[in-house]
Amino acid sequence: MRVRELAEWLGATFEGDGEKELSGVATLETAAESDVAFVGSRKAAAQAAASAAGCLIVSPEWPSPSSRTVIRAPEPRTAFARAMSRFYPTVELPPGIHPTAVVGPDVELGALVHIGPHAVVGDGSKIGVASGIGAGCFIGKRVTIGEGCILHPNVTVYDNVDIGRGTILHSGCVIGADGFGYVMERDRWHKFPQVGRVEIGDFVEIGANSCVDRAALGVTSIGEGTKLDNMVHVAHNCRIGRHVAVAAQTGFSGGVVVEDYALIGGQVGVGDKARIESRAVLGSGCGVLTSKIIRSGETVWGTPARPLKQHLEQLANLARLPEFRREMTELKRRLAELERRV
């Protein structure tokens, strides 16, 4: 692909050799003359001069180069991601049902649906146009999967789950398993029936080995455009909003509400019925106590989670504890010496 063609496809402008041929994408450090790379930070800007990349995707403010070929885009990282999809398009699954797949009665399949080897689709389920069900997937009864979805191999979807269009479920994830609900009676745990549902919006992506539990009563929901990393656990009756991003190994206890555009780091733990308001940021490893409210736009860190400035101040004080101890020891020594003189 030529630079001119890529810029046109991105809806961007270019400077330099528009006829230069590009064959791939790469980082600034590893790019060759036929690769395109991007400059998205100050550190990258410092590395750009030494890069062998044939074309750089840069911001409109980037200084005009004397000899380099560049494509100017308002968001270089986003433009680079789109360029990657052009050089490495998604492999299309061939329509059809593999002979080893099991498809129950009253199943509705849209046009161009792919169902892979040893997959199971339960009675009364619906799979939308051009969706792909990978090898070994299990789809329960009365499941609705929208158009253009991809279920990678070995995904499990329990009964009565709705999944919106364009959603991607990675291998090993489980949607609709029972929530962790029990009641104590006569010194024994008894199961609280989990009879609710799961609803997943459009264009959601859920990583490998993540779990979204069905509600005890009502609905566990994941909003449009939300992205869950690998090994994320969403417990019963949680409501995760639109365009939320959650990094790996994070767990949400029952009844948690996460509002739109919140950002949640890895290994975060969120207690029962906590509320994370819109555009809040939870730093990696922090712990949110039961029923705690993280206010809109607030950045928190630590356990228990607290405002970032306060967390950093406390860390600084902890770092000074050895010094405080030495000073206290010296003060005790001086006081003892004064007492002996008296």
Please, which pLDDT band fits residue 194 given cuts at 50, 70 and 90? very high
Q: What's the rounded mean pLDDT across residues 30-55? A: 90
Please, which pLDDT band fits residue 338 given cuts at 50, 70 and 90? confident
How close are the terminal C-alpha atoms of the chain, in Å? 91
Same domain, 116 and 69: no
Q: Which two tokens stand for residue 341?
A: 């003189």
* Cα 210 from Cα 240, distance rounded (Å): 14
- Angle (CA) 123-124-128 rounded to 5° is 115
Same domain, 171 and 195: yes
**Where does a domain end: 70, 87, 104?**
87
Question: What is the CATH classification number for the domain harbouring 82?
Answer: 3.40.1390.10
Same domain, 78 and 138: no
**Where does a domain end: 87, 120, 147?**
87
Same domain, 77 and 115: no
Same domain, 176 and 201: yes
Please, which pLDDT band fits residue 295 given cuts at 50, 70 and 90? very high
Q: Over 80: is that where the pLDDT of 91 sits?
A: no
How many other C-beta atoms are found inside a 10 Å radius of the C-beta of residue 246? 28
Confidence at residue 133, expressed as pLDDT on a 0 to 100 scale: 97
Same domain, 280 and 315: no
Same domain, 165 and 72: no
**Is the pLDDT higher at 234 or at 334?**
234
pTM (2 decimals)? 0.84
pLDDT digits (tens, 9 = 90+) for 111-134: 999 999 999 999 999 999 999 999
Q: Over 80: is that where the pLDDT of 320 sits?
A: yes
The helix (H) or strand (E) run that includes residue 245 is strand 245-246
pLDDT digits (tens, 9 = 90+) for 252-280: 999 999 999 999 999 999 999 999 999 99
* Cα 200 from Cα 176, distance rounded (Å): 10
Same domain, 55 and 170: no
How many other C-beta atoms are found inside a 10 Å radius of the C-beta of residue 29? 12
DSSP collapsed to 3 states, 81-113: HHHHHHHCCCCCCCCEECCCCEECCCCEECCCC
Q: From the DSSP assignment, how many helices (H) and strands (E) are in the chain?
A: 5, 39
Burial class (CB in 10 A: 0-12, 13-18, 19+), 170: buried
Question: Parallel, antiparallel, or unpaired: how do β-strands 13-15 and 70-72 relate?
Answer: antiparallel
- 228 in Cβ contact with 206 (< 8 Å): yes
Same domain, 182 and 331: no
Q: What's the rounded mean pLDDT across residues 53-65? A: 88
Residue % of the chain over a pLDDT of 70 = 99
Confidence at residue 63, expressed as pLDDT on a 0 to 100 scale: 84
Same domain, 298 and 318: no
Q: Which residues are catalytic?
A: 236
* Cα 270 from Cα 273, distance rounded (Å): 9
- Angle (CA) 121-124-128 rounded to 5° is 70
Question: What is the CATH classification number for the domain harbouring 163?
Answer: 2.160.10.10
Same domain, 76 and 106: no
Chain-wide mean pLDDT for the chain? 94
Supply the range of the domain harboring residue 323: 310-341
| Count of all residues that appear for the chain in the document | 342
**Where does a domain end: 65, 87, 109?**
87
Count how many domains the chain has: 3
Same domain, 246 and 223: yes
Residue 302 backbone zone (phi > 0: left; psi -120 to 50: alpha; other: beta): left
